[in-house]
Amino acid sequence: MTKRVTIVCDGSSLGNGQKAARAGAAAILSFTDAAGKTYSRAVGEYLGEATNNQAEIVAACVALEALREPCDVTLITDSKYVVETLKGNFRRKANHDFWARLDRAAKPHRVLWEWTRGHAGHSIQERCDRAARDIAAAGAVTAEILATAVE
């Protein structure tokens, strides 16, 4: 039986579009076992100079890359850019290396791409947003940032 995993992810670019932009990506992965116990962990990546759209793509990448076996995944993001592109509604006009990475990361899994409105009270999405901003501000992924995201 294939594991069902829920991923909520977000990317952030502080100074988006400016030369000194600093970007971070974060995701929270959750899995509930047969006994009903839920396990969660956070992952993240510091991108350095990158746009918000690039950070949003990387947030999905880092989450899917963290899975150790093929899974049925519901991936929730506040990025319409990511969701609509992967559903085939937007064309890939830019960020081709980022999209290629996401294609590789998603390939072993069955992924349902879902959009949620950002900053609208979705508690896990809010924690991902905070973690992505903290990673961008710190210039690194730290154990403290990831631990805070899953608390």
Q: Does 134 participate in catalysis according to the annotation?
A: no
Q: Does 122 participate in catalysis according to the annotation?
A: no
* Marked catalytic residue, from 44, 109, 129, 134: 129
Residue in the structure block whose two tokens are 């991902």:
128
- The per-residue pLDDT string of the chain (151 residues; one tens digit each, 9 = 90 and over) reads 689 999 999 999 998 878 788 999 999 999 998 899 999 999 999 999 999 999 999 999 999 999 999 999 999 999 999 999 999 899 999 999 999 999 999 999 999 999 988 777 778 999 999 999 999 999 999 999 999 999 8
pLDDT for 43 equals 98
Instruction: Just give the CATH number of 3-150.
Output: 3.30.420.10
* Marked catalytic residue, from 33, 88, 96, 119: 119
Residue 12 burial (C-beta neighbours within 10 Å; 0-12, 13-18, 19+): buried
Residue 105 burial (C-beta neighbours within 10 Å; 0-12, 13-18, 19+): buried
* Marked catalytic residue, from 45, 56, 109, 134: 56
Q: Does 78 participate in catalysis according to the annotation?
A: yes
Chain centroid to CA 41: how far? 12
Backbone angles phi, psi at 107, to 5 degrees: -50, -45
* Marked catalytic residue, from 10, 44, 45, 134: 10
Q: Does 119 participate in catalysis according to the annotation?
A: yes
Residue 17 burial (C-beta neighbours within 10 Å; 0-12, 13-18, 19+): exposed
pLDDT for 151 equals 84
Q: How far apart are CA 61 and CA 80, in angstroms?
A: 16
Tokens of 99: 């999209």
Q: Does 97 participate in catalysis according to the annotation?
A: no
pLDDT for 1 equals 67
pLDDT for 122 equals 77
